[in-house]
Structure 1
Amino acid sequence: MAIDGLRSTAIPPLRELLDSARVVAIPTRTRFRGITEREAVIFESPAGASEFSPFPEYGDAESSRWLAAAIEFGWSEVPRTLRERIAVNATVPAVLAAEVPGVLARFPGCRTAKVKVAERGQTLADDIARVAAVRAALGDDAHVRVDANGGWSVADAFAALTQLAVFDLDYAEQPCASVPELAELRERLADAGVALRIAADESVRKAEDPLAVARAGAADLLVVKAQPLGGIAPALRIIAEAQLPVIVSSALDTSVGVSMGLHLAAALPEGVLAGACGLGTVALLAGDVVDRPLLPEGGELPVRRMTLDAAALDRFRATPERERWWRERIERCYAELSAAG
């Protein structure tokens, strides 16, 4: 049996997956998406280290795509890469404005920053202050993006973005949750003379039809992530069909998962990338599982496979309870893939 996107590589036996799996829990430097510890499964696989790390709240059907991506990256050859280094953006969590310089210092050389907004429990004033601090720190020639993770209604997004637009935003990522809302917001902003691009993230990676947002004309560009889309090959097909510029991003992966994203970005044809990619997020973790973590240097990351650090795997090993939970999750997701095949 073969998984879609695995380039004719058969799915390995479940026992092989489980035997090669190491479950880790790495603290984050600041709260991100409501978590302070990032859990992941690292596979010591034949083609090189691979990662399976859907967030705990994701269901088995959705998470099975992440497992397909891990199998593709760990048990088959990656596509030919067209570039050796990828420009990346700084990622600024929903921190206080005063904390912004400290966050940006973890992303040396980055001239693009993505700023989290619409955080639960915060206000638009908090968002404005954070974005203002990023713009002040980086200067007028830098690119500043905002990411709401679908947290606004159309009315709230319109009100927020008309105010945030004074900071000369590169784009707004997933300001609203649904494709119809994105389309309505995009139209309202255009009618109001607000020149601001809309990027779709969750409307691609969490959708049953990842191309619906492109067909609806609801976004100017796509944010794509290799793991949620089932791997590099499926992501490349979606990008080719969407015919929109893209940014490749991560899901707070370890360097192993980020390497998967880098190989996706490096395989894209010329002219498809819409700017610096969101692959510098290892800087938000307080540890890693490889010998040379993928941390930005000069605003870029090298495209390479990872060598695991045995001591780090032991240091960040998850508790027995969490390890059992992840192994059972692998079994359930594997069953989903087998049923779909």
Structure 2
Amino acid sequence: MIDFDGAPIFAIPAHEGYRGFGGCEGMLLEGPQGWGEFCPPRTGSDLVAARWLTSAIEGGTVGWPDPMRGRVTVAVAVPAVGADAAAAIAVASGCHAADVMSTGGPDDADRLAAVRSALGPDAAIRCLVDGSWDVDTAAAAIPRLDTAAGGLQFVQQPCATARELAALRRRIDVRVAVDVSDLSSDGLTMSEVADIVVLDAAPLGGVRRALRFAEKCDLPVVVSGAGQTSMGLASGLALAGVLPELSFACGLGTAAALAGDIVPAGRTLITADGYLPVAPSAPAPDPDRIAQFTLDDVESVAWWRERLRTARELL
């Protein structure tokens, strides 16, 4: 039912200077109901890749559950750029929430302050760290960043492990959001590790599996996604559309960080008004854009073919 053998392989870089955001590299899978995107990180395990494949197959075969809402609010993705550039990116998005990348550098506070000034006192400002801090570093940095931002809604993934996150939460007042798609619990409960759970449909195995996780979770959730084109981000929007409660703007504004896309210009998921639509299926690729971003490096093509074969064996 899925054209695995003929799946196009693509690579799209991030905009130059967008620190904290990588490009998107992966495969496009066509099924009887539409298209799906298979782009697990190269550093992820085979099991993680299999979950990404399950998500890509879901969109192209059984489709997604019927949504409860036709559009969702999104947060603009602000890369680790200078303060003036960060403010410009935030304003251009039309969003009233921002996911601001922090790298631990001296410009983090200036960037957060600039985004707050640009979006105003009522905007929701969140800080994304990508698990790069130890507990002491995070405990020292987060209060300063909270002050610079005029109040953070939450800080996402400040530390890498569950035990570090649990220890950090006892030392700070800012809420901690944790991506559960690739986190070992270390025997801890989710309420010990996180105040908010981050749900990314693709690495959790698709919209339905992510929805089941949300139903079992006793914490508020935020829908997020990264490293995907508009085709891949559509699954995150489908998840956001079907959740009974959606208390936070979705971290699905990352397509703007890429230097291109593989869908037609009119279907690109880049907001100008702070919202993105929930569609019944992912947008189909544009043949000209596929040709533009086709990956032709022999070794990389072979790597992706093998990656797909290994992931299929685990399904």
- The two structures have a TM-score, normalised by structure 1, of 0.85
For the pair 1:319 / 2:305, whether they are aligned, the reply is: no
Give me the whole-angstrom Cα distance separating, in 1, the residues matched to 2:227 and 2:91.
Answer: 18
Q: Is the Cα–Cα contact under 8 Å of residues 52 and 206 in structure 2 kept in the other structure?
A: yes
Aligned match of 2:45 = 59
Aligned match of 1:245 = 220
Amino acid across the alignment from 1:268: L
Amino acid across the alignment from 1:169: L
The SS at the match of 2:64 is: coil
Give me the whole-angstrom Cα distance separating, in 2, the residues matched to 1:68 and 1:28.
Answer: 26
Aligned match of 1:18 = 5
Give me the whole-angstrom Cα distance separating, in 1, the residues matched to 2:255 and 2:65.
Answer: 23
Give me the whole-angstrom Cα distance separating, in 2, the residues matched to 1:176 and 1:76.
Answer: 36
For the pair 1:284 / 2:257, whether they are aligned, the reply is: yes
Aligned match of 1:152 = 133
The SS at the match of 2:14 is: strand
Is the alpha carbon distance of 1:133 and 1:34 closer, same or farther for their aligned partners in structure 2, counting shifts above 3 Å?
Answer: closer
- The two structures have a TM-score, normalised by structure 2, of 0.91
Deviation by residue 1:290-341 (Cα, 9 ceiling, x = unmatched): 122111131000111313211111111111422222111101111122xxxx
Amino acid across the alignment from 2:293: F
Give me the whole-angstrom Cα distance separating, in 2, the residues matched to 1:281 and 1:244.
Answer: 24
Q: Is the Cα–Cα contact under 8 Å of residues 214 and 242 in structure 1 kept in the other structure?
A: no
The SS at the match of 2:114 is: helix
Is the alpha carbon distance of 1:98 and 1:156 closer, same or farther for their aligned partners in structure 2, counting shifts above 3 Å?
Answer: same
For the pair 1:274 / 2:247, whether they are aligned, the reply is: yes
Aligned match of 2:183 = 207
Aligned match of 1:330 = 308
Is the alpha carbon distance of 1:216 and 1:87 closer, same or farther for their aligned partners in structure 2, counting shifts above 3 Å?
Answer: closer
RMSD: 2.0
For the pair 1:171 / 2:154, whether they are aligned, the reply is: yes
1:252, distance to aligned residue in structure 2 (A):
2.4
Give me the whole-angstrom Cα distance separating, in 2, the residues matched to 1:100 and 1:35.
Answer: 14
1:221, distance to aligned residue in structure 2 (A):
0.9
Give me the whole-angstrom Cα distance separating, in 2, the residues matched to 1:35 and 1:133.
Answer: 19
Identity rate of aligned residues, in percent?
A: 40
Q: Please, which runs of 5 or more residues in structure 2 have no aligned partner? A: none
The SS at the match of 1:43 is: strand
For the pair 1:44 / 2:22, whether they are aligned, the reply is: no
The SS at the match of 1:144 is: strand
1:29, distance to aligned residue in structure 2 (A):
1.3
Is the alpha carbon distance of 1:103 and 1:54 closer, same or farther for their aligned partners in structure 2, counting shifts above 3 Å?
Answer: same
Q: Is the Cα–Cα contact under 8 Å of residues 73 and 260 in structure 1 kept in the other structure?
A: yes
Q: Is the Cα–Cα contact under 8 Å of residues 21 and 257 in structure 2 kept in the other structure?
A: no
The SS at the match of 1:69 is: helix
Q: Is the Cα–Cα contact under 8 Å of residues 214 and 244 in structure 1 kept in the other structure?
A: no
1:99, distance to aligned residue in structure 2 (A):
2.1
1:205, distance to aligned residue in structure 2 (A):
0.8
Aligned match of 2:208 = 233
The SS at the match of 1:89 is: strand
1:88, distance to aligned residue in structure 2 (A):
0.4
Aligned match of 1:110 = 95
How many correspondences in the alignment?
308
Aligned match of 1:8 = none
